[in-house]
Amino acid sequence: MKNGGAGFSRRAFLGAGAALGAMAVVAPSRTGFARVPAPFVPTRTLTLASGEAELRLLGPDKPATAIYAYDGEPFRQIRVPRGTRLEATYLNGLDEGSSLHFHGIRMPNEYDGVPPLTQPLVQPGGRFVHRLPLDDPGTFFFHPHCDETGQAGRGLVGALIVEDPRDPHFDVDEVLCLKDWRLADDGGFLELSEPDGASKAGTFGGTRTVNGVPVAEIAVPAGGDARLRILNVDSTRIMDIGVEGAQAWLIAVDGHALPPILLDELPDGIWRMGPAQRIDIHVRMPLKGGPVTVGDYRAADIYHFATLRADGKRARKPGKEPHDKGEPGKGAPDKGALALPRPELPFPEIETAELHSFTLQQATDAAVKNLGLPPDDPLAKALVASFCVGATTYWSIGQISWSTGNRLGLPPPLAVMQEGRSYRIEIKNETRYPHPIHLHGHAFYVISSSKGRLPQHFADTVLVQPGEAVEIAFVAAPGDWVFHCHILEHMETGMMGWFRVI
């Protein structure tokens, strides 16, 4: 089956040279640079098996949809304490190759899950063992890194929550995974990618859900504090997240804390987030009760995906409640947000950092530089699986594009960097469409936006608007790290490159 413009073949024949036996354990094949410091003693082990599951996305009385999920659980959720040494074995139960990428985690490069750059493709029935030091608390997720439009588009995604015992107490801590689905009336999937979408803003789904249902109903004590971990796990959609009926603060971006910011004080009272971005919001429930709604305000038809309702119990002790001097029905404005501990991340030396500039562009196969790795490079003969890439090129970073069509060799790195040095990256968007740009294996610092719309904060994905230049900085970690747009069709039709850090 082909998925339109990006041209993803879900049942592609795999060459014998790439094939592995059933139940084979795939070992890291890095020629590379990073290794887990020995000894790595896991404190948590688990297996994540990809396969099919059923979900009634069109409604309880409508036909079920055969989605993809980990362990048969839509939006599989893992919670572990900070400091966990996680040994996660990925078991591929699909009928095509795949891999597992833990998005936003700083890890040894060999476990990043990007075939063929960091590991071989995991064939049907095969396994790959990831060993991950989870030292950064926050909201992360995991997904395949091959045929993402086909596999993640069918729901193959899960949430990884790294909990911090230093966090303040919240009465409620909810994970909200936002995703669209492209469904026919019989519950089957429509084409997940079409040329007009892949070459523009993306191919959108018409059925919107949170955790696989239309609306999340959440009970919170009156006057209580709710932590909402909102993940945009959609393939395409940009979302404007806002809250009505209560005070709400932005307290973390991509899992990393920042000084709390009232949503009402952000431009238009919303936080704009693209695919793969996450935010943590602190909502203080009204003392007098009343519903609170959380929604995506980007379109005229607002999608209210969560409703918080007071359960009648007050969270504060008698005599300890501040006076309600704010708007009717809202919580006490004279009590501030519950701030998270400051992130403990390598901070770049911004003033002395080496500057690189990359331009996001629309492109065609004819306009892309036909460059390859030097023949003596250990990855020179590595080929991207044909069903992991799009049929044609629509996008590039500069004039360099990721593999598409029959051009399956790896392109040269966008830059070669030195471990431990600080780098500033200017990302210029010369296209008509926004692009959420993700760097693997790092938490970068967002320095500035030419439109002046972003606070300074740590992130792993940043949304770059049309005509905008965003500057980020980071301390380079060793390995081969991809740098790409997380609108999945854009990535798979050219807008992906990589940095080599030696």
% of residues, the chain, pLDDT over 90: 82
Q: Which whole number is the average pLDDT over 241-262?
A: 98
Q: Which whole number is the average pLDDT over 310-335?
A: 50
Res. 369 pLDDT band, cuts 50 70 90:
confident
Residue 216 has pLDDT above 80, yes or no: yes
Q: Which whole number is the average pLDDT over 52-57?
A: 98
Give CA separation, 439 vs 211, 354, 402, 498, in Å.
26, 17, 15, 9
354 or 325, higher pLDDT? 354
Residue 273 has pLDDT above 50, yes or no: yes
Task: Read off the pLDDT of residues 338-349 as tens digits, 9 standing for 90 and up.
Answer: 999 999 999 999
Domains of the chain: 4-163 (2.60.40.420), 172-314 (2.60.40.420), 350-501 (2.60.40.420)
Q: Which residue type occupies 274?
A: G
Q: Exposed/middle/buried for 326, CB within 10 Å: 0-12, 13-18, 19+? A: middle
**What b-and-e string marks burial along 130-154, b requiring 16 or more CB atoms within 10 Å of the CB?**
bbbbbebbbbbbbbbbbbbbbbbbb
Distance separating alpha carbons of residues 485 and 236, to the nearest angstrom: 10
Distance separating alpha carbons of residues 242 and 297, to the nearest angstrom: 7
Res. 34 pLDDT band, cuts 50 70 90:
very low
pTM, two decimals, is 0.91
Cα dihedral 440, 442, 445, 448 in deg (nearest 10): -20
Task: Read off the pLDDT of residues 112-160 as tens digits, 9 standing for 90 and up.
Answer: 999 999 999 999 999 999 999 999 999 999 999 999 999 999 999 999 9
Q: Report how far Cα 498 is from the mean position of its chain's Cα atoms.
A: 17
Res. 38 pLDDT band, cuts 50 70 90:
low
Task: Read off the pLDDT of residues 459-489 as tens digits, 9 standing for 90 and up.
Answer: 999 999 999 999 999 999 999 999 999 999 9
Residues in the chain: 502
* Selection from 99, 123, 68, 150 nearest residue 491 by Cα: 150
Mean per-residue pLDDT over the chain, rounded: 90
Question: What is the structure's pLDDT at 370?
Answer: 77
Residues 6+ apart with CB under 8 A from 253: 277, 278, 279, 280, 457, 458, 459
Question: What is the structure's pLDDT at 29?
Answer: 45
Res. 163 pLDDT band, cuts 50 70 90:
very high
Residue 109 has pLDDT above 90, yes or no: yes
Task: Read off the pLDDT of residues 410-426 as tens digits, 9 standing for 90 and up.
Answer: 999 999 999 999 999 99
DSSP summary character for residue 388: G
Question: What is the structure's pLDDT at 371?
Answer: 82
Q: How many CB atoms lie within 10 A of CB 99?
A: 30
Task: Read off the pLDDT of residues 422-451 as tens digits, 9 standing for 90 and up.
Answer: 999 999 999 999 999 999 999 999 999 999
Note whether 484 and 402 are within 8 A (CB): yes
**Residue 223 Ramachandran class (φ > 0 left, ψ -120 to 50 alpha, else beta):** left
Give CA separation, 209 vs 96, 178, 307, 334, in Å.
26, 6, 13, 35
Q: Which whole number is the average pLDDT over 154-171?
A: 98
Q: Which residue type occupies 177?
A: C
Q: Of all helices (H) and strands (E), which one includes residue 474?
A: strand 469-475
Res. 314 pLDDT band, cuts 50 70 90:
low
Question: What is the structure's pLDDT at 35?
Answer: 47
